[in-house]
Amino acid sequence: MQLDGKVPGGPLETKWDRHRFELKLVNAANKRKFNIIVVGTGLAGSSAAASLAELGYEVSVFCIQDSPRRAHSIAAQGGMNAAKNYTNDGDSVFRLFYDTIKGGDFRAREGNVYRLAQISNNIIDQCVAQGVPFARDYGGLLANRSFGGAQVSRTFYARGQTGQQLLLGAYSALSRQIGIGKVKMYTRREMMDLVLVDGHARGIVVRNLLNGEFETYAADAVVLATGGYGNVFFLSTNAVSCNVGAAFRAYRKGALFANPCFTQIHPTCIPVHGDFQSKLTLMSESLRNDGRVWVPRKQGDTRAPNDIPESDRLYYLEEKYPAFGNLVPRDVASRNAKEQCDKGLGVGTGRAVYLDFADAIKRDGKATVEKKYGNLFEMYERIVAEDPYQVPMMIYPASHYTMGGLWVDYNLMSNVPGLFVLGEANFSDHGANRLGASALMQGLGDGYFVIPYTIGGYLSQWYGKPKVKTDNPAFKESLDQVTQRKEKIMALKGKRTVENIHREMGLILWDNCGMARNEAGLTKAKDQIRALRDEFWQNCTVPGSDKDFNLAVEKAGRLADFLEFAEVMVMDALNRNESCGCHLREESQTEEGEALRKDDEYCYVAAWEYAGYGKDPVLNKEPLVFENVKLTQRSYK
Amino acid sequence: MTKTINLTLKVWRQRNAEDKGGFETYQANNVSTDMSFLEMLDVVNEQLTLDGKEPIQFDNDCREGICGMCGCVVNGRAHGPQKATTLCQLHMRKFDDGDTIAIEPWRVKAFKLIRDLAVDRSAYDKIIQAGGFVSVNTGQASDASAMPIKQENAELAMDAAACIGCGACAAACPNASAMLFVSAKVSQLALLPQGKPEAAIRAIKMVRTMDLCGFGNCTNERECENACPKEIKITNIARLNREYIKASIGSSVM
C-alpha cells in the first residue's frame, strides 16, 4: 500500500496556513446537513465534539463511562506545554517543535509536529477563556514551570491536576452543546465495530452496557478519540476501562496500525506490591528534580535503607550520567532501574529502587520539600503506608502512554476515508517517545484546532449525495459479526477468569516487549501469545448474562482484542531492529551499551495491515523525510 | 506492615431498579492490608466467578481518586471511613481482622439504581449542561495572559474546581441534596472574570435543574463536606446562595 502523509509543501512555517486555505470549506448553512460520530470523550474527543457542534455540524458522541467527564485524560498530573514564551527564557514555536521531534527520536513527521507547536498557544488561550484555573503568580499572570528535563519553562499547570481541569473545561464546552441539543450524548456505550460503505467509514455498532443490546448509528464521518492501549501490559497507570477495542476494530476493517511497539514506560511509579494489584499509580517525574535514585551496592543487602551507609549505596544514574544525573529522560531512567533490578540489586519486592529525599530535606528544609512535593508524598504514604520524609520512597517503571496508534495523514484521517483518529489513539506527533506535558497539548490541539478544519475538506465532497442509513446491508453484516462474537464469548465456561489470563498476557509483554527487547524473547513471546489466545477461547470463563449490566462481559471482549493486538505489537518490535525512543533493542547498542538508532534502515513509520485472524499482518512503510532538523544521536553522558 | 485479615462482607445485591434487592453475606479471607478496597472486591469477584456465581457489579475506572466513577456507602459512610479519600484509594489497612463491612450503593432519589452498587448519576451531567460552563466557542479566546486574575481568587476557584462529581455529597446528605456539587461549579466560575457575565443566569439554571432532577434542599447538615473526597467546602454553598439571591432579584430570567 502506498502511504501518503499528505503533508503540504512549502516552508515549514507556512504549511498549515496554506493548507487551511486550500482545504475546501463547508458553508455554514450546509454544516447542519452533516452528521459526525465522535467516539471517546477525553481531551481529544470532548474538544472535537464541542468544536464541531459549535460550527454547526450534527454530532453524536459515545463513551464507555457513565459520564463524559470520567475519561482518563482526567488523571494527567503535570501540565501542558505551549510556546508562549511568557518567561522570556528563549522558547519559540520552533524550539517546541524541535524539542518534540528530537524527544521522539526523529520518528514523527516534521509537518505534523510543527503544526502542533504552532497551535499550542491557541490551546492555552481557549482553556483560560473556559475558566480553567491555571496556577498564577502574585501579579495574577499565568505561572509556568520547567518540566520533564526541558530547558525552558513552558509548562502551564493547575496544581497536580492539570488533566482534570483541562478535561473539565472541554467537558463543559461539550455539555453546553448537549444542553442546546447540538450534540447527542450516548454514555455507557462501547464501540464494537466500524461500518464501511463503499470503502468509507459510515457508522458504528455499539454495545449498550446497561442492557447488552447492540445499537447501530450512521454518519457522514467517524472520529475515533479512544485513547491508548497501555493496558495491554495489564498493570499500567491507565484506568481500568482503557482498551484497544475501538482502534482494533477499525484495524480489522482496514485501518493501518502504526508503530504499535512504541510504548512509554514511566520511571516514577509506585512499585507493584502484590499479585492482587489492579493498577499502578504514577507520581509526577518532577520528583527527580530533588530525589536521588539509588540501590544497595551488594546483592541481598536486607538492611533498612537508612541503615545502609553512603559507601554501600550505588547512585547509578549519577555515576553513569554525571552531566544529567537523576534528570536523564524517562526512557533512560526506566531502563536503568530495570537493569539494576535484573542484576539482583532491587529493593522491596526486588522490583523497586529507592528515590531518596534525605539530602534535599537536609539542604532545603522539610518545609520547602513539602511545598514542592507535599501532595505526592501524601499520595505515596496513602498507598504504601510509609512516610517519605523519613524513609526513601520506592519507585519502579510502569506502562504509561502509547505513542503508537492508528495511522493518520496530515488531516488526521486514516487510510480508511472518513475515519479520523485523534489524541493518543493516533500515532501522529510523538514519534518513538513523548515528552512530558505534550499529551494534553496534542489531544486538545487535535480536537479544538485541527479536526474542525480538516473534516470539512473531506465532507465537502459529499454535499448533496444520498445519505447512508442504518438500514444499509453493511450494518446488518456488522451486527451479525458482533453478535456471533458475543455468543462465542458468552459460551466461555472454562476454569480461568478474564483477569487471570490478562495478567499472564501482560507479563509476557512486559518481560519481552517492554523497555528492552531482543529477537529471541520477541519470537518466544509471539508463540506464547498465540498459545494464550487459544487458552482464552478454550478455558476462560465469563459469568452472568449479557442482558444485564455486567462488567465481566465487557472485560472479556476487551481481552480478546488485546490478545490479537499483542501479536501485532510483538511483530512490530521484531521488525524494528534498532534502539529508538523509549525502547532498547538489545542487538542495537553502542560500544558503551547505549541505545543505537539506525536511521539508514528504520527512519520510517511502520504501518501494519490486517491480513485475517491468526495471519501475520502486512508491513507498510511511510518514509520519514527531515528537511528542517538534523538527525542527531541523543547523549546524556 | 503488611498482614492479612479476615472479613465478613454484607453487600447490597439488586439485579435492577425494579428488583427488591437485599444484603448478601460473603467471607473475604486472607485479605492483604496493602489492597485497596476495590482490589479486595476484585478478589471476592474472582472467587464468585470461579464458583459459578455472579460477581458484584460496581462502577470504577481510574483507581487513583480522580475520575469520580467509584463510590459506595461503607458502614454507613460515603466512600468509607478515611477522610478525604475515594473508595478506590481506601486501603484495607484501615480495617481490622474480624470486621464486618456493610457495602451499599448511593441511596439518592435522583440516582436511579442500575445494578448492585452501580447507580445512574446522569443528573449531575444534566445540571452542568444547564449552565456549568462559560459560553465561549473554540477560537473566540483572547490571549491567555490578557486578563490578570488575583492569585487568591485563582486558588479558591481551583479549590472548588477539584470536585470529581462522584455523588458522595448527595449520598451523605439526609435530604439527598446536590448543593455542594452545584455550588462548587457555580463558585469556580463566579470567582473568575471569565465566568462573571453569566454568573446570575448560571446559578438560576443550575439550581432549577437540580430541583427538577429530584434532589432535595440544603438544611446545613454539613454531611456533604464531611464526606467529600476532595474536601470541597460548604462555604461554596454560601457563595451559591449569594449568587442565586443576587440573580433572583436583579435578573430578567425568571
Q: How far apart are CA A218 and CA A629, in angstroms?
A: 43
Indicate yes or no: CB of B141 within 8 angstroms of CB of A47: no
User: Locate cell 511483530: which residue?
Assistant: A571
Interface-testing mutation among B133, B181, B201, with chain A (most A C-beta atoms within 10 A) = B133
**A125, closest residue in chain B (CA to CA):** B144
Shortest Cα–Cα distance, A238 to chain B (Å): 7
* CATH classification (class only), A265-396: alpha beta
Which positions in chain B touch A277 (Cβ < 8 Å)?
39
Q: How far is B41 from chain A (nearest CA, A)?
A: 10
| Known catalytic residue at A107 | no
Q: What are the average pLDDT values for consecutive 10-residue runs of chain A, which has 637 residues?
A: 95 98 94 97 98 98 98 94 96 97 96 98 98 95 86 92 97 98 98 98 98 98 98 96 98 98 95 89 88 96 96 97 88 92 94 96 94 88 94 96 98 98 97 94 98 98 94 98 98 97 97 96 98 98 96 96 98 98 94 92 98 96 97 80
Distance in angstroms (rounded) separating the CA atoms of residues A209 and A66 = 10
Instruction: Report the residue from A452, A541, A548 with minimal CB separation from B138.
Output: A452
What residue spans in chain B does CATH classification 3.10.20.30 cover? 4-104
Burial of A613: CB neighbours in 10 Å, binned 0-12, 13-18, 19+:
exposed
Find the catalytic residue in A330, A434, A533, A558.
A330
What's the confidence (pLDDT) of residue A635? 74
Contact B48/B57 with Cβ under 8 angstroms?
no
- The answer to whether the Cβ–Cβ distance between A278 and B39 falls below 8 Å is yes
- Strand A263-269, strand A393-402: pairing: antiparallel
For residue A116, list its beta bridge partners. Answer: none
Q: Residue B196: helix, strand or coil by DSSP?
A: helix
From A199, A97, A198, select the one nearest A414 (Cα to Cα).
Answer: A199
Q: State how far the Cα of A576 lies from the Cα of A218, in Å rounded to an integer.
A: 38
Inter-CA distances, A189 with A30, A203, A249, A518, Å: 29, 14, 15, 39
Matching residue, cell 474527543: A45
d(CA B206, CA A119): 33
**A265-396 and A475-620, same CATH topology:** no
C-alpha cell at A52: 464541531
Q: Which residues of B touch A141 (CB under 8 A)?
A: 145, 148
CA pair distance B49, B27, nearest whole angstrom: 15
Instruction: Please report the pLDDT score of residue B76 as a whole number.
Output: 97
Residue the block writes with cell 501479536: A567
Which triple of cell numbers denotes residue B46?
Answer: 474472582
**What residues in B contact A178, CB-CB < 8 Å?**
125, 129
Counted across chains A and B, CB pairs separated by less than 8 A come out at: 213
Q: What is the pTM of this model?
A: 0.97
CA distance A238 to B64: 10
Residue of A nearest to B48 (CA): A543
DSSP letters, B32-91, are ETTSBHHHHHHHHHHHHHHTT-PPPP-----SSS-S-----EETTEET-SSTT--GGG-B
A196 and A73 in contact (C-beta within 8 Å)? no
Q: What is the 3-state secondary structure (H, E, C) of A395-409?
A: EEEEEEEECCEECCC
Regarding the domain with residue range B122-250, which homologous superfamily does it belong to in the CATH classification?
Alpha-helical ferredoxin (1.10.1060.10)
pLDDT in the model for residue A73: 98
pLDDT of residue B252: 57
- What is the pLDDT at residue B1? 65
Going A456 to A460 to A462 to A463, the CA torsion angle's sign is positive
Enumerate the residues of chain B whose CB falls inside 8 A of the CB of residue A47: 138
Percent of chain B with pLDDT over 70: 98
CA A543, A544, A545, A548 torsion-angle sign? negative
Check whether B250 has a pLDDT greater than 80: no
CB contact under 8 A, B145 and A168: no
**Which chain A residue's Cα is nearest to B137?**
A54
**Is A139 in Cβ contact with B129 (below 8 Å)?**
no
A127 contacts in chain B (CB < 8 Å): 144
| Residue B128: closest C-alpha in chain A | A175
**Residues β-bridged to residue A570:** none
**Residue position matching grid coordinates 455550588:** B183
Q: How would CATH label the architecture of B4-104?
A: Roll (3.10)
User: CB–CB of A58/A32 below 8 Å?
Assistant: yes
One DSSP character per residue, A408-474 reads --TTSB-SSTTEEE-GGGB--S-TTSPPTT-HHHHHHIIIIIIHHHHHHHHHGGGTTSPPP-TTSHH
Interface test with B, best of A41, A67, A120 (most B CBs within 10 A): A67
With residue B31 as reference, give the H or E element that holds it. Answer: strand B22-32
Confidence of residue B88 (pLDDT cuts 50, 70, 90): very high
Distance CA B204, CA B220 (A): 20
CB B120 within 8 A of CB B203: no
d(CA A530, CA A536): 10
- The amino acid occupying position B46 is E
Residue A621 and residue A551 in contact, taking contact as beta carbons nearer than 8 Å: no
Q: How distant is the Cα of B89 from the closest Cα of chain A, in angstroms?
A: 7
Q: Which residues have a Cβ under 8 Å from the Cβ of B249 and sit 6 or more positions away?
A: none
C-beta atoms of A86 and B145 within 8 A: yes
Which numeric CATH code is attached to A475-620? 1.20.58.100
Nearest CA distance, B21 vs chain A (angstrom): 15
For residue A502, the chain B residues in CB contact (below 8 A) are: none
Rg (CA), chain A: 24
Q: How far is CA A554 from CA A66, A99, A217, A550, A561, in A?
A: 14, 40, 20, 7, 11
On whether the CB atoms of residues A209 and A190 are closer than 8 A, the answer is: yes
Q: Are strands A292-296 and A313-314 parallel, antiparallel or unpaired?
A: antiparallel
Residue of chain A minimizing CA distance to B68: A70
CA atoms within 13 A on the CB side of A314: 19
Alpha-carbon distance B221 to nearest alpha carbon in chain A (angstroms)? 28
Cβ A172–B132 below 8 Å, yes or no? Answer: yes
| B141 neighbourhood in chain A, CB within 8 Å | 122, 125-126, 128-129
Give the distance from residue A257's alpha carbon to the nearest chain B alpha carbon, in angstroms: 26
d(Cα A327, Cα A148) in Å, to the nearest integer? 8
* Delimiting residues of CATH 1.10.1060.10 domain(s) in chain B: 122-250
Chain A positions touching B194 (Cβ under 8 A) are 128-131
Beta-bridge partners for B248: none
User: Over pLDDT 70: what percentage of chain A?
Assistant: 100
The distance of A102 to chain B (nearest Cα, Å) reads 28
Cα separation, A603 vs A589, whole angstroms = 17
Strands A58-62 and A35-39: parallel
Q: List C-alpha distances in Å: A291 to A296, A377, B108.
A: 16, 12, 46
> Does the pLDDT of residue B254 top 50, yes or no?
no
Q: Is the pLDDT of residue B251 over 70?
A: no
Residue B180 to residue B199: CA distance in whole angstroms: 17
φ/ψ region of A561 (left if φ > 0, alpha if ψ in -120 to 50, else beta) reads alpha
Rounded Cα gap, residues A264 and A283, in angstroms:
15
Task: Report, in angstroms and rounded to the nearest whole number, the Rg of chain B calculated over CA atoms.
Answer: 20
CA A136 to chain centre: 28
Going by their DSSP bridges, the two strands B22-32 and B73-74 should be labelled as unpaired
> Which residue of chain B is at minimal alpha-carbon distance from A447?
B138
Cell of B214: 429530584
* Closest by CA position to B165, among listed A65, A173, A609, A550: A65
CA-CA distance, A288 to A282, in Å (whole number)?
Answer: 13
pLDDT at res. A602? 98
Give the one of A65, A125, A179 whose C-beta lies nearest to B129's C-beta: A179
CA distances from A324 to A289, A318, A375 (A): 11, 7, 26
Q: What is the mean pLDDT of residues B60-84?
A: 97
Nearest to B67 among A75, A142, A497 (CB): A75
Do A70 and B68 lie within an 8 Å CB cutoff? Answer: yes
The torsion angles phi and psi of A500, rounded to 5 degrees, stand at -60, -45
Dig out the grid coordinates for B177 from the structure. Answer: 441534596
Of B52, B64, B124, nearest to A75 by CB-CB distance is B64
Instruction: Write the DSSP assignment of A310-326 as a string of letters.
Output: GGGEE-HHHHH-TTTGG
CA torsion, ordered A423, A424, A426, A432, to nearest 10 deg: 130
Contact B75, B102 (CB under 8 A): yes
Give the residue from A61, A141, A172, A444 with the most B CB atoms within 10 Å of its CB, the best one to mutate: A172
- Taking CA A114 as the corner, what is the angle to CA A109 and CA A118, rounded to the nearest 5 degrees? 155
Give chain B positions within 8 Å (CB) of A208.
none
In chain A, where the domains are located: 265-396, 475-620
Q: B47 Cβ partners below 8 Å, 6+ apart?
A: none
Question: Minimal Cα distance from A157: which residue of B?
Answer: B158
